[in-house]
Structure 1
């Protein structure tokens, strides 16, 4: 049985998500002679009447810019800037997307792009290889971490921004790219020619923090993130029974709504996950968990912080409202709006805010955020070289134990620099103790 939805007093209707296409009718009028704008408007309802006076003023501004601006501006640029202005004034997340931005957004949400499979960063203002991704052109060509990239094809990387470098290295699968790199310990640069391939990025990572206690990191919500979460849970379970799991959503900017639903569904076997409300009927949706669940009973701690936004807040809010896990960390970002990507006929697109989402308990997260159940600020765990303090066994001349020696679990490298994660593991261990006593 679903919890009541107290927010609006109306029950959101169950709908399948659909893309909505809109036209920019007022702008179409700019193609008409100015005299036509003074003609009587066609019969319309009061709510649909076009603001003819404002459109007339807009057209006048358009013409004056064309005639008097210090540099010549073409009509296409003016119209696109006008559309960008219309959208940017609505809210921070609505935007007009040119071809490049539209393609980049699709790649980020789908987790797939044409490239060479390399993570890069800037070190001392120099483009540097962070790591090549396994089984990609970069790894097969022998690129290594800390290689300096001096040129991309014929373009020097000096004073090049990271974004510019990434855009140059991406391209159509099958096309070639030449990198000039300098490796530490070598006296001269080398050139490497690679053929771009279709690269798939992974948004999920996992490892064991300690025997029986897993760590699941979701960096963003892409189309395949739900499937990846289920795969990583199965991998962790192959190493033995899971006594607890940390789901790390810190600094996760969000992504695809359906992916957030799939991740929450991996831990819930029933109940509402999220619902949305907007002006159009097709923007009113609700998503519920199904019985097929990857980890329905594993004790769960969800880590969030001020960088957890949108889809990350959907997951944290659903698991918190359903009392499925303990949310730990600091207050989340507070982005509770839903954007739809609307392709336009010219290969460009709109990103338009069309709805707000609500947690199962009816909470709107917009400009509010998720409050953690346990507040833990970020810090650093200070440990000795061997990962522990002085104990009886370290004292000279100590008495030996009469029991057989036990193997001590090594402290995960990830825990050494992450106080919040260490506290999450401590909480999971405490929950496991209580669970064992209740059996």
Structure 2
């Protein structure tokens, strides 16, 4: 499915019950597009299997048709295929592809492509025109078939490795995030995004008294039905769990989607009760919550298709505390995920405004992602904790909340992954991730390379952090010049300029100091307000 062409998108602010179905991934972030999948064809995996020429041709054709209109820069069929052909040499160094230049131009003999093994010419192919996509695909398939016949090393690697090596070499010439994922790992990736086998969404533990519920997935049927951590699971469909392992009973809880399962549960010290649930395919939980006094910490581990829904549920619960002093969003170590979920999650706490802008060569990649509606928290102070591993969708959320002065960001410079990938499903069941747009934060600065510079840096040691906190209480932001310089940056940004900005708060792994600083800021309203002021109103005044 191709994401509809739009220049502007708005999302409602209250997202309880919302579940995003359009997938946009930045970094593991982008728009989903799917090439037609042959329902009959199966991927070649066994090294002893013959080379499936039809499948090979279908995958390469789908891949080039998907790639060419979407890459950030324009590349010809010749560029893409010539780079990919180096994959043969990567598997078997004896196999070499050479372009034979024409002899005397007066002979008008066209150039040719030679497939060689050492000094021996295996086959010579007419060189297609640079834009002849079909011709180049036919050449690649023929070269692969010939190499397969002549090289025991290539046959031993197998047809899956042949495709993987082709795409690996091709993408070596593009960017760090474009890639091909083979059929088996692609299934695992899709399971992580959408959920796998249907179950009820609980994790089981065991002690000397038997099985108990150790965790409840906020996306699953058990959460909706009110199952609680600590309850004893006594039976599944009237089958006793006594002397059973958590793994065995977890298998009992799995089954066809929407099928019925009867749980017999008991609270500590209470009578047993029966609960009927309907199994569902449950994405892994990505939001985890705990309280510290009247502060709520919401840790977001990634952005899957249900993250905004999970976050909305926890925020709704948090708002039941009439003395709630603040919310801490912990995005440390969050490598990103679904772009639309980052925008939707931002919409939960940002009253209105642009969350992110994406720009690419393909017009379908150009969007202004805006939010509107209402802040679920009604202005409760927010701190976002980040570190050097915070990336892509997580950086988008942190940047949006900081740029709109809705949150104070604490930690270190983030990873700086600001390229969006479109995902194409290939006929072999694999997936193609192709970078097709760049990410700009609300104030117009590029995330790629630069990352998010926090208002309060914790990466320079405890003494420096305490100095920063004292300065905040006195109405000053130590890192204000660095933050303002980052917001004034514009694409294209030189590597030297990026390093000049980032070295003031170098990327680091998060520590307990981040949480201590977050608590100190949220319990000192004046310091919190001062930290927000580090974000400039007028970028024209920034040198």
Category of TM-score, reference length = shorter chain: 0.5 to 0.7
Partner of 1:38: 126
Cα gap change, 1:234/1:344 in structure 2, threshold over 3 Å: closer, same or farther? same
Partner of 2:7: 13
Q: What is the Cα deviation at residue 430 of structure 1?
A: 0.7
TM norm structure 2: 0.52
Is 1:234 matched with 2:247? Answer: no
Cα deviations by residue, 1:120-147 (Å, 9 ceiling, x for unpaired): 9xxxxxxxx99565759998479xxxx9
Cα gap change, 1:77/1:236 in structure 2, threshold over 3 Å: closer, same or farther? closer
Q: What is the Cα deviation at residue 332 of structure 1?
A: 0.6
Cα deviations by residue, 1:287-325 (Å, 9 ceiling, x for unpaired): 111123212411111110011100010011111111111
Cα gap change, 1:239/1:264 in structure 2, threshold over 3 Å: closer, same or farther? same
Unaligned runs of 5+ in 2: 1-5, 11-21, 23-30, 36-61, 65-76, 86-114, 116-122, 205-211, 236-242, 258-278, 463-510, 530-543
Distance, in Å, in 1 between the alignment partners of 2:297 and 2:379 is 16
Unaligned runs of 5+ in 1: 1-11, 121-128, 153-167, 175-195, 381-416
Partner of 2:186: 102
Cα deviations by residue, 1:157-209 (Å, 9 ceiling, x for unpaired): xxxxxxxxxxx9999758xxxxxxxxxxxxxxxxxxxxx97444321122321
Distance, in Å, in 1 between the alignment partners of 2:200 and 2:183 is 21
Alignment RMSD, CA only? 4.5
Question: Does the 8 Å CA contact 1:265/1:293 hold for their aligned counterparts?
Answer: yes
Cα gap change, 1:169/1:104 in structure 2, threshold over 3 Å: closer, same or farther? farther
Q: What is the Cα deviation at residue 432 of structure 1?
A: 6.5
Is 1:24 matched with 2:68? Answer: no
Question: Does the 8 Å CA contact 1:116/1:170 hold for their aligned counterparts?
Answer: yes
Within-5 A mapping of 1:390-429 = 418-429=512-523
Distance, in Å, in 1 between the alignment partners of 2:253 and 2:160 is 26
Cα gap change, 1:346/1:300 in structure 2, threshold over 3 Å: closer, same or farther? same
Count how many residue pairs are aligned between Structure 1 and Structure 2: 334
Question: Does the 8 Å CA contact 2:148/2:154 hold for their aligned counterparts?
Answer: no
Question: Does the 8 Å CA contact 1:244/1:432 hold for their aligned counterparts?
Answer: no
Equivalent position SS for 2:299? strand
Question: Does the 8 Å CA contact 1:133/1:139 hold for their aligned counterparts?
Answer: no
Partner of 1:69: 152
Cα deviations by residue, 1:368-394 (Å, 9 ceiling, x for unpaired): 2111110014989xxxxxxxxxxxxxx
Cα gap change, 1:379/1:248 in structure 2, threshold over 3 Å: closer, same or farther? farther
Q: What is the Cα deviation at residue 256 of structure 1?
A: 0.4
Cα gap change, 1:140/1:338 in structure 2, threshold over 3 Å: closer, same or farther? farther
Partner of 2:328: 246
Question: Does the 8 Å CA contact 1:15/1:282 hold for their aligned counterparts?
Answer: no
Within-5 A mapping of 1:333-372 = 333-372=415-454
Partner of 2:298: 216
Q: What is the Cα deviation at residue 428 of structure 1?
A: 0.7
Q: Which moved more, 1:53-62 or 1:330-339?
A: 53-62
Distance, in Å, in 2 between the alignment partners of 1:236 and 1:151 is 33
Question: Does the 8 Å CA contact 1:301/1:428 hold for their aligned counterparts?
Answer: yes
Q: What is the Cα deviation at residue 63 of structure 1?
A: 2.1
Distance, in Å, in 2 between the alignment partners of 1:418 and 1:244 is 18
Distance, in Å, in 2 between the alignment partners of 1:150 and 1:229 is 28
Cα gap change, 1:359/1:40 in structure 2, threshold over 3 Å: closer, same or farther? closer
Within-5 A mapping of 1:166-185 = 173=256
Cα gap change, 1:87/1:14 in structure 2, threshold over 3 Å: closer, same or farther? farther
Partner of 1:206: 289
Distance, in Å, in 2 between the alignment partners of 1:427 and 1:348 is 47
Q: Which moved more, 1:67-76 or 1:237-246?
A: 67-76
Cα gap change, 1:72/1:270 in structure 2, threshold over 3 Å: closer, same or farther? closer
Partner of 1:80: 163
Q: Which moved more, 1:54-63 or 1:273-282?
A: 54-63
Q: What is the Cα deviation at residue 77 of structure 1?
A: 3.2
Cα deviations by residue, 1:13-44 (Å, 9 ceiling, x for unpaired): 336976435623567xx9xxx99952875xxx
Higher normalized contact order (CA 8 Å, seq sep 6+, divided by chain length): 2
Within-5 A mapping of 1:277-288 = 277-288=359-370
Distance, in Å, in 2 between the alignment partners of 1:237 and 1:297 is 11
Distance, in Å, in 2 between the alignment partners of 1:78 and 1:206 is 42
Within-5 A mapping of 1:37-56 = 38=126, 48-49=131-132
Distance, in Å, in 1 between the alignment partners of 2:396 and 2:310 is 18
Cα gap change, 1:118/1:72 in structure 2, threshold over 3 Å: closer, same or farther? farther
Cα gap change, 1:169/1:310 in structure 2, threshold over 3 Å: closer, same or farther? farther
Q: What is the Cα deviation at residue 76 of structure 1?
A: 3.0
Q: What is the Cα deviation at residue 51 of structure 1?
A: 11
Distance, in Å, in 2 between the alignment partners of 1:354 and 1:169 is 43
Distance, in Å, in 2 between the alignment partners of 1:71 and 1:288 is 50
Cα gap change, 1:200/1:256 in structure 2, threshold over 3 Å: closer, same or farther? closer
Question: Does the 8 Å CA contact 1:304/1:329 hold for their aligned counterparts?
Answer: yes
